[in-house]
Structure 1
Amino acid sequence: MTASHAIALPPGYRVADVLAFHGRDPERVAEQVDADGLRKGILLGGVPTLLDIRFEAGAAHCSVTFDGPSTPALEVQAHEALLNVLGLRIDPAAFGAAVQDDPWLGPVAARQPGLRIVQSATIFEALTWAIIGQQINLTFAIALRRTLIQLAGRAHSSGLWCYPEALDVARLDISELTGRKFSNAKAETILRVARMVVDGSLVLERHAGVEDISGSASAEVSETLLAIKGIGPWTVNYVLLRGYGYPDCSLEGDVAVRAALHKLSGSAVRPTVSEAERMLARYAPHRTMAAAYLWASLADAPPTNESA
């Protein structure tokens, strides 16, 4: 069954950023990006689902195809996934106004207005991706993610693979992961969280229609995740950012964030985690957008007076 609708996009919406985020896997197993849109496969409520998004005339024209009958609950899940995939959870305007006079990120934000946090389609996808990405380079992380999709996911009728849900991952044996280059620690943690979701001891839920997760709710999520073996502060903040769309994540544990702070502040050495935490405090309650601009700053070249 297919449902279609259009989502209006704000002025200055950066389509290229969204396409770049979802086009990182060169083998295009679960996401396919082209010049005017993207297609993404995801399991929702056990149903293989294809999100097909076309960008045209200030809107995202979205077609959702379920390999099975649609239900109101399934349609809500698909709509929430679309908002995540499109990066529409956090309005960057407040951050832009807050850092107008900031010597570090003010110039970066002025050169790159409208930068957004693009999210994973579901919180479970964000959590498993964060665990996969712990302490390894991006290329290897993408390869491991692809392996997880092919081991636990299912193919949509379109041929695109669907990112798995917790139930699909929980069925795996650890040897299926470790035999495909997952470390024991990563494999154990991924299976642990998947089985906790299945048995109800871990609830990954974002209430539909809530524009942001409150500070108290984020503290509860953090406490719950930190109690799980194999999950640390960086993973928690990444899940809050990419899964829940929390606007005030402090990513002082992120190597690239600390590298950007080193570059922008002009300090002699790269800040420690605790030093970076203090440096990021100036951007509360917009530290998620601060992280986005810090990442962007590493590839951002300020204008010079030299002729080309």
Structure 2
Amino acid sequence: MAVSHLRILSRTELDAALDALCALDPEMARLRTVGAEPPLRTLSGDLPGLVWVVNSQMISVAAARAIHARLEAALGAIGHMRLSQAPDELFRAAGVSRGKLRTIRALCAAVDGGLDIAGLADREEEEARALLTAVPGIGPWTADVFLLFAHGRADAFPAGDVAVQAALQAAFDLPARPDRAEAERMAERWRPLRGVAAQLLWAYYGAMRGGPDAVAAPTRPATVEEIL
């Protein structure tokens, strides 16, 4: 199976990529045997999909879905024009934090300035990541999660994700949860399937916590700006 620039967009492709990852590293095969079988997660590769990732930061999947649904109901549809024109009060009533609202406003301004979010799928991964992280409020975690699930990029690895780090600590019996730099170093062994490894680690963490619904994945630490 060719894995260079691999895109994971179907269950069959995810299963094949997991097989390749487990053949690459027996430790990942061991994690898979304990019931850590990742579900296929996909996002739309456009502004609504990216807004979903922003809304899902730091909170459970259920909470993110509720906020996103309230926002969609209030707007009628999540799109550039409606997001741009909606007053702050509408977002706040839907449960969007001030920090996330600033990011959504920045995204809309970036689109006005020529950012083609859907067109990022045709860019090289590093270029797409750089264009995303140039938007105020879009950090590496948000960019990597979007690239992983909207584009199916098999090597996008959100090293700053808390659940990924906790799974690495448990799986490899580490004395402490690895930080972003250490998680990136550990993930080097899984290139070009680091994103597939992240999905397996999320599933493993969920299995450790009592099942697939026991933990929100992906998740990452809150910043002061996002809490406010």
Structure having the larger proportion of residues in helix? 2
**Which residue number in structure 2 is paired with residue 294 of structure 1?**
201
Deviations 1:110-147 (A, max 9, x none): 56697454211343233111111222343432222122
Question: Aligned partners of 2:155, 2:207: CA distance in 1, in Å?
Answer: 23
**Which residue number in structure 2 is paired with residue 13 of structure 1?**
none
**Which residue number in structure 1 is paired with residue 5 of structure 2?**
none
With normalisation by structure 1, the TM-score equals 0.58
C-alpha contact (below 8 Å) 2:54/2:100 kept by paired residues:
yes
Task: Work out whether 1:175 is the aligned partner of 2:82.
Answer: no
C-alpha contact (below 8 Å) 1:206/1:244 kept by paired residues:
no
Question: Aligned partners of 2:69, 2:12: CA distance in 1, in Å?
Answer: 26
Match of 1:186 among 93, 100, 103: 100
Q: How many residues align?
A: 202
Structure with greater contact order relative to length (CA < 8 Å, sep ≥ 6): 2
Question: Aligned partners of 2:104, 2:62: CA distance in 1, in Å?
Answer: 19
Question: Aligned partners of 1:191, 1:89: CA distance in 2, in Å?
Answer: 37
> Gapped runs of 5+ residues in structure 1?
1-83, 155-163, 208-212, 302-308
C-alpha contact (below 8 Å) 2:164/2:201 kept by paired residues:
yes
Question: Aligned partners of 1:128, 1:222: CA distance in 2, in Å?
Answer: 16
Structure having the larger proportion of residues in strand? 1
Percentage of identical aligned residues: 29
Q: CA RMSD in A?
A: 2.8
Match of 1:143 among 52, 66, 79: 66
With normalisation by structure 2, the TM-score equals 0.76
**Which residue number in structure 1 is paired with residue 152 of structure 2?**
245
Distance change (3 Å), C-alpha of 1:222 and 1:90: farther
**Which residue number in structure 2 is paired with residue 204 of structure 1?**
117
**Which residue number in structure 1 is paired with residue 50 of structure 2?**
127
Question: Aligned partners of 1:89, 1:168: CA distance in 2, in Å?
Answer: 36
Deviations 1:70-89 (A, max 9, x none): xxxxxxxxxxxxxx9x7459
- Corresponding letter in the other structure for 1:148: L
Distance change (3 Å), C-alpha of 1:193 and 1:243: same
Shift of 1:300: 3.2
C-alpha contact (below 8 Å) 1:119/1:126 kept by paired residues:
no
C-alpha contact (below 8 Å) 2:38/2:200 kept by paired residues:
yes
* Structure of higher CA gyration radius: 1
Distance change (3 Å), C-alpha of 1:107 and 1:148: same
